[in-house]
Structure 1
């Protein structure tokens, strides 16, 4: 039994899946939680060593499970969260924690590019395809330039958590094109680091890793790993893979035009796969590389927008607003008609990325009336999350064409009520993915392409399984169209 391993290094967990291509079965699975640190308000960090240790534990468990089934791991592909930044010394030892996408300390530096150095900001967006926001390494490094220049220059390298893991496994500092395009430092068309962005960040090209294609293969060189991992991966090729957002699209089976992927976990994202780089005239959409420079397949880019406000809004409603279990909160929301009797909620509890790209924006209820009860406030909050995603979809569709079906995944998919609400608001069918592990599955599918098991990524998506499809209700959709117009008018 030959297996392909998909590893997903997220911000809440490290996961690994062992996939058997012949049967399409997941034959082993392991996961370990990660701790996010908040040493100051607005900061979000992780200990790189904890991520590494947890990854080894996960690999150890999966390798043992595969061995117990007389299996063999032939290849490993990697998915990782974007936008992290770590300073390392000559020996590869971290000089900082991993500064995560959700860290907002660089708000001033991002605002400078958007509102003061606008020509430079526009140029960087056009070259990189990365919206200007505190989340991106470009702005994080500029923060160090202003607040700790000595450390910025002292670090031999500035790398992501994925590069840190890749170096630990292979001994090489390399970054895949997908993660690179999410830094704000990488010219996505020339496939090289962009000098004006590096100058703004205050770093030298020697401090950055070698960019490589997402199908790039290496070998395990670390001899200090547990025997189970060393033995299990002895004959395996390691494939650097791509970012979790791009691989989530692939793992959701969303390669063809007209298919939009929506993921709602704590935060959320809406994405489309296209075959050319895309730029929004107002810099509101990202455009990241999934697979390019491959003469045997099409070029693929993933475009879209991330939101800070997804299921965290449901958590806020449950814990802070109603102090009620989420299952009861959802049931209560279902007692109110679509549109919440004109009550609107702007869901910006933690600032916002797309479509506003404003870390300082905050949420609010609008049109509050005497007859509105708790259930109205609950339902309006859930609708607000989806209205914000619809706003991003409207911007995206102007560039990529209309959505004909949504492939949905993430924690919200456990609520049939919320998924049906999505279908009613967007007015198109919503198809659930069979697995919520779309990042790891995407890493597996990309690895299948890299190893020649499939001839194209389109062929790889035939291995994606689906669950229930939710059809929109015409009357509720009509009602939601009117409510959404008021939501759009109320946006900051």
Structure 2
């Protein structure tokens, strides 16, 4: 039986799942492989793209072996990929450098200049591109290369993302989908071309960048020794897909107005889907292209599940033991507040130098209070992003939640209580891969629109807010915002 495969190329893993479009609740095959991140200096984060290819190849071979054993054949594959990576390539697509990842902060000085001494230029680039100014974006990374590695800048025939490297190796084409392009800080979506203002600042030429294609672009698989190892049939069709954030929104069913999608993995994001592009007056929200009629607007945070991991390391306890301890303390942790900025911050601060803090510590606070305050601090920060978002899009009526945090009933209940609206859990946590499969269905006309595709998404539990806790959290959130304004 024919089936579709959604691939999610993240920062820490490559994951894939296979489904038939008539039954999106039954996973036919699933595989995952980890990717190592290289940290050559403090603040640097890189990956060897050949190692990413190896992880991708391992996952594809595993999925196809599972499908073959079950009597299925993958006919279409779509790609969800992490944003903001940058690598230099020669004219044949061979890497001349490691990929610089979204979490790399080496371009902090360039970003700060665009937000201060060159603010007029930075504001203009944001208004054109919809990408907040931050060290994560290729715009700032290229500006860093101009100053610190100009030889690489001039030696490279091409610059692109990890996705573009993989796509070229799979298809022989240098192409970038509009979704990934809107995350570079180099693309003008209104004109559907590279922003002249941005590329002049970045020091690159249009011919060094990929050609634009829609997120539904299809290509046949190039026949090479490398691609033969993936296990696909000769008839497989590749759909370029979109960024992980956009496809995660689609795969979470977060397409219609009033639905906020909240994801917390290692990092996190708050997103809504809108019909027309939006811009925050102060440049704090992204706006990325999903298709011509859908744009994903929101804000990412650097500090999500990594805060819980930090607590676990401090206490030398397993995840469940830490969460159980937090459950022994009332909402608000008896006045203890936590600013979760352990790795700088993107939204809502866009300040790579921001750092975390505990506030209002006194003798009554126990280890459990510190844990509870940390979990609450992560959600308060997400709530502050959502406040910026709803000013542009209108109020939320429901939150669709996914990511690792969704496996904790306590943490999800905290979210419902803070937001004061129901929280629906996705049946599948693989929202990026699911979004890719839904995009294939739209590409092939199985569904008429992405709105119809999102209606196919299944959910697990719905968590209702506790009214008493919600009232308490409204006051605590105001205290947390005041504390943040005084410290950060």
* 1: CA distance, partners of 2:117 / 2:427: 46
Which shifted more, 150-159 or 17-26? Answer: 17-26
The CA distance in 1 between the partners of 2:318 and 2:167, in whole Å, is 40
Q: Distance in 2 between matches of 1:311 and 1:204?
A: 39
Question: 2:58·2:230 contact (CA, 8 Å) conserved in 1?
Answer: no
**Who is 1:50 aligned against?**
51
Quote the Cα distance in structure 1 between the aligned partners of 2:392 and 2:405: 27
Q: SS state of the match for residue 66, structure 1? A: helix
Q: 1:220, 1:233 within 8 Å by CA — same for their partners in 2?
A: no
Distance 2:477 2:152 in 1: 48
* Contact 2:221–2:227 (8 Å) recurs in 1: no
CA distance in 1, matches of 2:65, 2:71: 10
1:60 and 1:226 in contact (8 A); partners too: no
CA positional deviation for 1:229: 3.2
Q: Deviations over 1:411-462 (max 9, x none)?
A: 0111101000110111111110011100010011011101111111111113
Task: Using the TM superposition, give the Cα deviation of residue 180 of structure 1 relative to its aligned residue in structure 2, in angstroms.
Answer: 0.3
Whether the 8 Å contact between 1:80 and 1:162 is mirrored in structure 2 is yes
1:478 counterpart residue number = 471
How far apart are the structure 1 equivalents of 2:44 and 2:260?
Answer: 32
User: Which of 407, 426, 442 lines up with 2:400 in the alignment?
Assistant: 407
2-structure distance, mates of 1:462, 1:187? 31
Q: Where in structure 2 are there 5+ consecutive unaligned residues?
A: none
How many angstroms apart in 2 are the aligned matches of 1:139 and 1:226? 34
Conserved 8 A contact 1:171-1:222: no
Post-superposition shift, 1:198?
0.5
Other-structure match for 1:286 = 286
What is the DSSP-based 3-state SS (H/G/I as helix, E as strand, rest coil) of the residue aligned with 1:423?
A: helix
Distance 2:60 2:366 in 1: 50
CA distance in 2 between partners of 1:479 and 1:337 (Å) = 10
Residue 309 of structure 2 corresponds to 315
Q: Is 2:201 aligned against 1:200?
A: yes
Name 2:89's counterpart in structure 1: 88
The answer to whether the 8 A contact 1:60-1:229 is kept is yes
Task: Find out whether 1:148 has 2:142 as its counterpart.
Answer: no
Q: Distance in 1 between matches of 2:74 and 2:306?
A: 37
CA distance in 1 between counterparts of 2:420 and 2:113 reads 39
RMSD: 1.0
Partner of 2:266: 266
Give the TM-score of the pair, scaled to structure 2: 0.98
Shift of 1:193: 0.2
Q: Distance in 1 between matches of 2:3 and 2:450?
A: 18
Deviation at 1:62, TM superposition (A): 1.1
Q: Distance in 2 between matches of 1:151 and 1:227?
A: 32
Counterpart CA distance in 1 for 2:227 and 2:216 is 26
1:252 aligned to 2:252? Answer: yes
- The 5 Å alignment of 1:122-137 reads 122-137=123-138
Shift of the alpha carbon at 1:227?
Answer: 4.2
Shift of 1:72: 2.1
Look up the match of 1:8: 8
| Structure 2 Cα separation of the partners of residues 342 and 42 of structure 1 | 33
Structure 1 spans left out of the alignment, 5+ residues: 293-298
- SS for the counterpart of 2:392 is helix
Q: 2:482, 2:85 → 1: CA distance? A: 34
Per the normalisation by structure 1, the TM-score is: 0.97
**Partners of 1:290 and 1:12 in 2: CA distance:** 23
Contact persistence 1:268–1:310 (CA under 8 A)? yes
Structure 1 SS opposite 2:28 = strand
Contact 2:168 2:174 in 1 (8 A): yes
> After the TM superposition, which of the residue ranges 305-314 and 20-29 deviates more from structure 2?
20-29
Separation (CA, whole Å) in 2 of partners of 1:285 and 1:464? 26
Contact persistence 1:176–1:211 (CA under 8 A) = yes
Please give the alpha-carbon distance, in whole angstroms, between the structure 1 residues aligned to 2:64 and 2:329. 49
| Aligned 8 A contact 1:387 1:484 in 2 | yes
Number of corresponding residues: 484
Matched-pair contact (CA < 8 Å) for 2:13–2:34: yes
Please state how far the C-alpha of 1:23 moved relative to its aligned partner. Answer: 2.4
In structure 2, the residue matched to 1:346 is: 339
SS at match of 2:230: helix
Instruction: Find the partner of 1:458 among 447, 451, 460.
Output: 451
**In the alignment, does 2:99 pair up with 1:98?**
yes
- Asked if structure 2 preserves the Cα contact closer than 8 Å seen for 1:73 and 1:235, the reply is no
Indicate how the Cα distance of structure 1 residues 143 and 228 shifts in structure 2: closer, same or farther if over 3 A, else same.
closer
How far, CA to CA, are the matches of 2:317 and 2:14 in structure 1? 30
Aligned partner of 1:295 in structure 2 is none
Contact 1:269 1:306 in 2 (8 A): yes
- Alpha-carbon distance between aligned partners in 2 of 1:308 and 1:323, rounded to the nearest angstrom: 23
SS in structure 1 at match of 2:240: strand
Report the Cα distance in structure 2 between the residues aligned to 1:50 and 1:229, rounded to whole angstroms: 15
* Cα drift, residue 330 of structure 1: 0.8
Aligned equivalents of 1:357, 1:251: Cα separation in 2: 27
CA distance in 2, matches of 1:248, 1:227: 29
Q: Residues 417 and 473 of structure 2 are in contact (CA less than 8 Å); yes or no, is this contact kept in structure 1?
A: yes
Match of 1:430 in 2: 423
